[in-house]
Amino acid sequence: MDCGCAAPYIGPSLDRTCGGGSFILFMSLLDTFIRNKCDLSDICGRVRPKTLPDFEYDFVVIGGGSGGATAAGRLSEVANWKVLLIEAGGDEPPGSQVPSMVTNYQGDPHMDWNYKTEPQNQACLGYPEGRCSWPRGKVLGGCSTINGMMYMRGQPKDYDNWVALGNPGWGYQDVLPIFKKSEDNLEIGTLVDANYHGVNGPLTTSRFPNHPELAEDVLKAARELGYPVTDDLNGKQYSGFTIAQANVKNGSRLSSARAFLRPARNRPNLHIMLNSTATRILINTSGNQKTVSGVEFLYNNKLYTTRVKREVVLSAGAINSPQILLLSGIGPKEELDKVNIQQVHQLPGVGKNLHNHVTFYLSYLMKKSKAVNDLDWATALDYILNRRGPMSSTGMSQVTARINSKFADPSGTHPDMQIFFAGYLANCAQSGEVSAAEDPENPDAPRHLTISAVVLHPKSRGYVGLKTKNPLDPPLMYANYLAEPEDMATLVEGIRVTQRLANTRTLQDKYGLELIKEEYGDCEQKHTFDSDDFWQCAARYYTGPENHQAGSCKMGPSTDPLAVVDPKLQLYGIEGIRVMDASIMPVLVSGNTHATIVMIADKGVEHIKQKWLAGNTVGNSVSDRRTHQMVKPTTIKDIRIRIKDPEIQDFNIVQRFTGIILTCLILSTHSKHKGDIINRIIKDIRVVILGINKTKDTIIIQRNNLCLCARLG
């Protein structure tokens, strides 16, 4: 590989994503080809993670997913702000960039949290232990690295409803400019309207360069049933069937990390710690106002703490964000008492209001279409050389629809059902032989097509709690799917829509679709097959969770007892914490969530910039107030920090605003340690933080271009 720099190990190989065995040889060869394509592996364009954090940052962003990568990239645009991004996973593997490998890395322990819901009586009954799987990205880019790439914003009424719930500034006309700001839509004027889409933003958006013939036939079938067909569900028309746009660039996945972090990789003020798990946010409770003071995290089995000068941005997602708040002692006391965590701040809504889109899928045999493997050497070479062919798309998964059920808003302006499809995916192969059967033991087997109905406006609510106080243990996730009767009624109506679609003349004449009768526990013994009661039973047995979890750190007015953040995304009751991910959604948007999460982070950073860039605010930072007030002595901490040579620009800014020279590190310690600490500073660039105490004197030491400041009591 000749990319101009050394190639590090980047993530797991594709050969482990197809079940091993006979898949290993072909998939490992394919992975090697992909890793050796510079535009896919992007060795020189990737972020350069740190191995040790600095002592203090202006902002610490927890979570490098859809929201966190956006927030860190946007914050680092301000050259004087020092930003740390903490991500629990590693960097994106080259294989994840290939659109047809869209689901390959789901379930991989190196990239997926592999969460399971807690058992419930009314859903997920057919899965082991009655627990549904929740794939969640544990990798730079988060779920945008393992999701379906579909670019969906929801509907105007979603955001107008947020305003009606007490969140001014979040209406559709408020957020549309934010969506446009982040977007670089390549199909304005051909497929989409410039009134609704933007250009020159980090998030490139277009249709995949390839789609199966069946995709167009599904649109014909929709017309046969009287449904509208549109080129853009994010524009003027927000209901109907479409071949969706996606976050894809040059035929490969564009995650939030690739969009927002890689272009910022050379900014000296942006530091990224990978494979680092945030354990808690530290709060200073000594004054009248509780304020954030730092973030604690694990890296290489060692515990580190970094101080926060201005704010913490919590973007760990709808599961991990409430988990981290609870681990920090922030949340309902009854939940904290269960695991013996001392409460720092009472906030009843942390972890509550959790909800997710729920689905049920039907599988069909395509009796008139033989199942051949869409992945072979010809397909692979077409993609590797030209970024074309079946590997350049997600097959039938790029087709979707939003439609109204009888339970939808009577105005018809807020569709409450979504339809998804799956099939024709060039993601796994054994031999690479052209036109090889998908199942070598059954070469005449027909193709499969899956059609799913999704409830977009679920009424059922669950919650996130703690299993233990160990931050490495997964939290408790109570999905509470289908607890509300309207959710089940909407889902069954959606099932009927998918059946009518499969039975259209368009799809029957050309493909001969035939429903596959699955085993749904004892549903057929209890109910007549294909009755509404049968499908209700089946849906409780094989419940299909979407990966759109939201609402667990709800945004709302101060009068809302479950609100966790205000409309500026600031945590209620503690200064210096904002949440920027799907957890803040008071109500889920109508569709895939990635684009909305990027918008939330973009809007959140705008609020931060409005606060901190409005005049001379350095002296008003949380850290500065705490330095003047000081805090009570703390226990000795065995935390090692590598000191970085200060940049002259940062040095001058600190000097100008504070009147004294404060450089890389401030050590506040007891006077009896004065000699030891000075000797240690002079001899070594590694120091031990011994505690914080009131101080009077400041000693500045300069050695080998390394400026240190020790405040000694």
Any idea what the CATH number is for the domain that residue 621 is in?
A: 3.50.50.60
330-331 vs 345-346, strand pairing mode:
parallel
Residues 97 and 157 placed together within one structural domain of the fold: yes
Residue 260 lies in a domain: yes
Q: Residue 6's pLDDT is what? A: 53
Residue 1 lies in a domain: no
Q: Given 581, 603, 629, which residue is the final one in a domain?
A: 629
Q: Residue 343's pLDDT is what? A: 98
Residues 148 and 221 placed together within one structural domain of the fold: no
| Six token digits for residue 452 | 């799913």
CATH assignment at residue 432: 3.30.410.40
Residues 562 and 573 placed together within one structural domain of the fold: yes
Residues 90 and 117 placed together within one structural domain of the fold: yes
Residue 698 lies in a domain: yes
403 forms beta bridges with 417
CA distances from 485 to 349, 532, 534 (A): 24, 13, 15
Q: What pTM value is reported for the model?
A: 0.86
Residues 573 and 672 placed together within one structural domain of the fold: no
Q: pLDDT per residue over 366-379, tens digit each? A: 999 888 889 999 99
What DSSP character marks residue 579? E
Q: Which domain holds residue 687?
A: 632-712
Q: pLDDT per residue over 403-417, tens digit each? A: 999 999 998 899 999
Taking 70 as the pLDDT cut, the residues of the chain under it are 1-8, 615-713
> Which three-class secondary structure state does DSSP give residue 222?
helix
Average pLDDT, the chain: 87
Q: Residue 150's pLDDT is what? A: 98
Q: Residue 665's pLDDT is what? A: 38
Question: Could you give the angle at the alpha carbon of 458 between the alpha carbons of 457 and 461, nearest 5°?
Answer: 140
Residues 432 and 508 placed together within one structural domain of the fold: yes
Residues 325 and 266 placed together within one structural domain of the fold: yes
Residue 395 lies in a domain: yes
Residues 625 and 640 placed together within one structural domain of the fold: no
What amino acid positions are annotated as catalytic residues? 548
Residue 477 lies in a domain: no
Residue 204 lies in a domain: no
Could you list the beta-strand ranges (E) of 456-533: 463-465, 476-478, 513-515
Between CA 263 and CA 248 the distance in angstroms is 16
Task: Please check whether residue 232 is in contact with residue 152, taking contact to mean a CB–CB distance below 8 angstroms.
Answer: no
Beta carbons within 10 angstroms of residue 521's beta carbon: 14
CA distances from 16 to 31, 108, 110, 173 (A): 10, 8, 11, 45
| Rounded-to-10 torsion of CA 430, 431, 435, 441 | -60
CA distances from 665 to 55, 78, 138, 654, 685 (A): 6, 22, 32, 12, 11
Residues 642 and 667 placed together within one structural domain of the fold: yes
Residues 394 and 335 placed together within one structural domain of the fold: no
| Six token digits for residue 376 | 């072979």
Q: Given 585, 612, 629, which residue is the final one in a domain?
A: 629
3-state secondary structure 387-452: CCCHHHCCHHHHEEEEECCCCCCCCCCCCCEEEEEECCCCCCCCCCCCCCECCCCCCCCEEEEEEE
The total number of structural domains in the chain stands at 3
Q: Residue 431's pLDDT is what? A: 83
Residues 646 and 498 placed together within one structural domain of the fold: no
Residue 412 lies in a domain: yes
- Following DSSP, what letter does each residue of 50-66 receive, concatenated? -SS--SEEEEEEE--SH
Residue 18 lies in a domain: no
Q: Given 597, 629, 661, which residue is the final one in a domain?
A: 629
Residue with tokens 């997602």: 317
Residues 500 and 581 placed together within one structural domain of the fold: no
b (16+ CB within 10 A) / e for 429-449:
bbebeeebebeeeeeeebbbb
